[in-house]
Amino acid sequence: MNQKSIILLLFALCSHLAWANTYKVCASCDLSTVEAAVAFAAPGDTLIFEPGIYPSPGTEIKKPLTLIGKEGTVLDGQKQDYILKILSDDVTISGFELLNSGRSYTKDYAAIYIHRAERFSIIDNEIRDSFFGILVEKSNHGSIINNKVFGEATREDQSGNGVHLWDCDSVHIAHNEVKGMRDGIYLEFVDGSTLLNNYSHHNVRYGLHFMFSNHDEYRQNTFESNGAGVAVMFSKWIKMIENTFVQNWGSASYGLLLKEIYDGEVLNNKFDRNTIAVYVDGSSRVNYFNNLFRQNGWAIKVSGGCYTNSFSENDFEGNSFGISYNSNLNDNIFNGNYWSDYSGYDLDKDGVGDVPYRPVKLFSYIANKTPEAIILMRSLFVDIINFSEKVSPVFTPDALVDNSPSMHPFR
């Protein structure tokens, strides 16, 4: 950026501020409809909506505007179209209740649709009875904060996604709550973005779904009782930190699915009562550190070629199966984790067990091949065959051992 353009930018900004106006919108005001208010306002103006119900089927915003709804302001899409279409940079939408977008099998109608817009802000809105919640395409540097998207979907084809980003960069998504949609949050070709402290629960498919997205980070989110937890697919350099994955129950359901993921970080997460806490499929160079796996069906299920993943200082407590492999080859490192069913001893009192721990049990190998056998879990017979396999491994990966199991949990 050269000097000339900086001066131009500053000038533009000052002039903008100098002439920005604020208008009130209400049923008895001069500006009584969304369409009229948006048409009337000049770029940079602010529209403040008084409480009331405003029809807004397919309102297009093509200039930088700030729309603020006072509490109780409802924008009604009348089940026809998008409710708001944001087609300009620098638009802020805040404080609205948005109801009744259209529904279609051919068009992705959304309550808020953002297309090729920079620096958008969607804040404090509540979206109900809509097909998609917030749908963002080819837009960058925006933020989506403190919104609620509530749907009542029970089947995948009944609903769109709560927050859906496609081909975006540097978007900040924080403190949102999404429930009852298809995917809670869906990101495809989204780079350099962060998700912070969102709560995605009871969605039909995934709580969070990443596809082809790189260099993103999600932190302190909670994913609970979704159809299948969180899926991260075909992405690189994703950081997953301090999230909570709870009760994602069902066949083929998991807390976290990593499919074709490279160079990721899974740190300080909590996986509690999921059918499969982490399902790793063809992912390599992912670092799992200091996570808590508690009372999951399977703590970690490894399938396909997974290489040089590292698991250390994780707590495995009361999972039905610790680790399950579908082959007996292993190129991943388990070192220095806490395993609640470790039965070794620590004579030198250094906090590390003196005998190695084998996290893959023969029974988990059997249950992979014959799923119904799961009904025999915790049988004395199963304990006996697990013990004999532990003594001389035949079916389970021989090299898969934690050589320095911790005697105490880390968290």
Partner 1 sequence: MIKIFKYSFSDLMRSRWSFIYLAFYLVLGFVLLFLNNDLSKAVITLMNVIVVLTPMIGTIFGIMYFYNSREFTELLLAQPVRRSTIFLGQYLGISISLTLSLVLGLGIPFLAYGLFQSGEIANFLLLLISGAFLTFIFVALSICIALFNSNKIKGFGYAILMWLFFAVIYDGIILLSMMIFQDYPLDNFALVASFLNPIDLSRILVLLKLDISALLGYTGALFQRFFGTSLGLSVSLGLMLLWVIMPGVLMVRKSSKNDF
Type of residue numbered 136? V
Q: Which is nearer to partner 1, 67 or 302 (CB)?
A: 302
Are the C-beta atoms of 151 and 180 separated by less than 8 Å?
yes
Binding residue for partner 1, selected from 125, 253, 330, 337, defined by CB under 8 A: 253
Q: Is 378 in the site for partner 1 (CB under 8 A)?
A: yes
Site for partner 1 in 229-248 (CB under 8 A): 247
Nearby residues of 372 by Cβ (< 8 Å), 6 or more positions away? none
* Spatial distance between the Cα atoms of 302 and 308, rounded to a whole number of angstroms: 12
Task: Please count the residues of this chain forming the interface with partner 1, following the rule CB under 8 A.
Answer: 33
Q: How far is the CB of 361 from partner 1 (least distance, A)?
A: 12
The DSSP bridge partners found for residue 323 are 300
Q: Is 147 in the site for partner 1 (CB under 8 A)?
A: no
- For residue 356, count other CB atoms closer than 10 A to its CB: 14
Q: Which of the ranges 141-149, 176-184, 352-360, 377-385 carries the binding residues for partner 1, by CB under 8 A?
A: 377-385
Q: How far is the CB of 230 from partner 1 (least distance, A)?
A: 16
Q: Which is nearer to partner 1, 71 or 372 (CB)?
A: 372
Consecutive H or E run containing 386: helix 380-391
Helix/strand/coil percentages in the chain, nearest 5: 15, 40, 45
Binding residue for partner 1, selected from 267, 329, 374, 407, defined by CB under 8 A: 374
* 136 phi, psi to nearest 5 deg: -120, 130
Binding residue for partner 1, selected from 1, 380, 391, 392, defined by CB under 8 A: 380
Q: How far is the CB of 367 from partner 1 (least distance, A)?
A: 8
Q: How far is the CB of 395 from partner 1 (least distance, A)?
A: 12
Chain centroid offset of residue 177 CA: 11
Q: Is 407 in the site for partner 1 (CB under 8 A)?
A: no
What are the C-alpha distances in Å from 12 to residues 5, 6, 119?
Answer: 10, 10, 16
Residues in touch with partner 1 (CB under 8 A) = 247, 249-253, 273-276, 295-298, 318, 320-321, 366, 369-382, 384
